[in-house]
Structure 1
Amino acid sequence: MNAQQLSRTPVVLRDVSRAFNGNTILDRVSLRIEPGQFVALLGESGSGKTTLLRALAGLDQDATRSGTINAPDNVSVLFQDARLLPWLSVGDNLSLGLRRTDSLVAVPRMLQAVGLGDKADVWPNTLSGGQKQRAALARSLLREPELLLADEPFGALDALTRLRMQALLFELVEQRRPTVILVTHDVDEALLLADRILVLKDGRIREDHQITLSHPRQPHQSDFAHLRLTLLRSLGVETAVI
């Protein structure tokens, strides 16, 4: 691991609340995430996961806000929708906002890293869903973010493509070591990737699990299966029918 690539700024939230039209979604959340940590947020719909992510990204200007957030300045957001501009080539989507001298070498290198080395000049609408998410991941990491915020980035992909994207995300994050906060509904995805899993309910962090399983992780491993059952129970899933 290159020490220069490691994020050095922790993410710190103190009594953070967010409300929309009088409805409190986040309720006095306090949290510290160490530099370079990979954190997954689990919880039912409406538990506050995406609201927490949007607060960290500064995308919640329409909310009633309180509390303080300290986070790295260099932040990238990876959405479920790749959000590629259809009138720009894949390469131009990646280089948008970068200095030309920076992008000439960096864009082809990053496209190669995500398996799209031959797609720089094609239009986004010619890509498959998985390829679009590869391009979106490349665009996010190209900025060398200290903090990568990922909001269910693989939720719309088929099962096999999702597994490939999870492996790719893990590989690239291991190389660059940003702090990562991943919103997911997939317990297995959280366990495959994260160092730490937070379970949210009613706008609060109800559980905080440190995940010490070694990589590569496999769902059939006994420790993995035990943690999976623990998390499913936390989410109110009846394990007898799984």
Structure 2
Amino acid sequence: MHAIQLHRFSRGFDKKTILDAIDLSIPAGQFVALLGESGSGKTTLLRALAGLDQDAISNGSAIINGTVSVLFQDSRLLPWLNVEDNLTLGLHSVQAKASVKQMLQKVGLDDKAKVWPNTLSGGQKQRVSLARSLLREPDVLLADEPFGALDALTRMRMHGLLLRLVERIKPTVILVTHDVDESLLLADRILVLKEGKISEDHAVALAHPRRLDHPLLMALRTRLLQSLGVETEFL
């Protein structure tokens, strides 16, 4: 079963085409990373799948099977609600609300349920945001550079946390990122967008956890960096 299917899908704004007749099928449960230079269409594609940007002009078809949750670069926590209330906002079932404590434990914030978002660090806010996204156990998780603003050590911890939660909930994931190493460490499949089209499609058939010094990852890293216009002779 495919979680996401695009057929000749195009999208643009004010007569400018951003995505150009894309064909793409993503099986349920696959973790896909989207790479590309700024302006290549990564975020436009993600926002289209999320049902955002209603003023955009679209052609072709885009089908998502199942429920969708979105994880942004900024945590988007409501400052007038404590952590627990941010997580339960919009939830109505007793069972869902009861799982909040367990989810906070999984992201290492079980002692922060009653605190205000402005008392949290950037990494803690993103952990709350990740918990909120996965608490609903979505079929599809759309993540738009969720770790881009974090320091290197916090980003590494978030990678491990994301993989553990994804392994438990098993959603289909699309991760927009500028970080080639991040895509290699996390994704089952890496797509490169260039000028609104998918220019490369790579499978990453390695179990987790991964090491970037694995020969297959090192070779693919060089290929991806070259595709993105990065000189690799000094890396």
TM-score, normalised to structure 2's length? 0.98
Equivalent-residue separation in structure 2 for 1:9 and 1:95 (angstroms): 30
Aligned to 1:3: none
CA distance in 2 between counterparts of 1:23 and 1:139 reads 35
Q: Distance in 2 between matches of 1:36 and 1:56?
A: 16
1:65 to 17, 42, 58: 58
Q: 3-state DSSP class of the match of 1:122? A: coil
CA offsets per residue over residues 201-237 of structure 1, 9 Å max, x none? 0000000001112221011222211111111111111
1:130 pairs with 2:123: yes
More deviation, 96-105/205-214? 96-105
1:185 is aligned to 2:178? yes
Report the 3-state secondary structure (helix = DSSP H, G, I; strand = E; otherwise coil) of the residue aligned with 2:69.
strand
Out of 17-26 and 100-109, give the one that drifted further.
100-109
* 1:223 paired residue number: 216
CA RMSD of aligned residues (A): 1.0
8 A Cα contact 2:2 2:26, kept in partner: no
Q: 1:17 aligns with which of 10, 14, 28?
A: 10
- Deviation string 1:40-96 (CA, Å, 9 cap, x unpaired) is 000000000000000100002111111111102410000000000000000000000
SS at match of 1:240: coil
Q: C-alpha offsets along residues 3-30 of structure 1, whole Å, 9 cap, x if unaligned?
A: xxxxx65210011111111111000011
Contact kept, 8 Å, 2:5 with 2:62, in 1: the verdict is yes
- Alignment equivalent of 1:108, drawn from 80, 101, 122: 101
User: How many residues are treated as equivalent by the alignment?
Assistant: 235
Secondary structure of 1:232's partner?
helix
Q: Deviations over 1:97-122 (max 9, x none)?
A: 00151344211110111000111100
Q: Give the 3 Å change call, closer, same or farther, for CA 216–84 of structure 1 in structure 2.
A: same
Match of 2:26 in 1: 33
| Runs of 4+ residues deviating >3 angstroms | none
What letter matches 1:43 in structure 2? G
Letter in 1 for 2:107: V
Distance in 2 between the 1:89 and 1:103 partners? 17
Comparing 218-227 and 16-25, the one that deviates more: 218-227
What is the aligned partner in structure 1 of residue 87 from structure 2? 94
Of 194, 201, 205, the residue aligned with 2:194 is 201
Structure 2 runs not aligned, ≥5 long? none
Alpha-carbon distance, 1:165 to partner: 0.3
CA distance in 2, matches of 1:220, 1:139: 33
1:5 aligns with none
Alpha-carbon distance in 2 for matches of 1:33, 1:137 = 22
Q: Which runs of 5+ in 1 are unaligned?
A: 1-7
Distance 2:72 2:141 in 1: 11
Which residue of 144, 161, 164 maps to 2:154?
161
Query: What is the distance in 2 between the residues matched to 1:180 and 1:11?
Result: 10
Task: Classify the secondary structure of the residue corresponding to 1:83.
Answer: coil
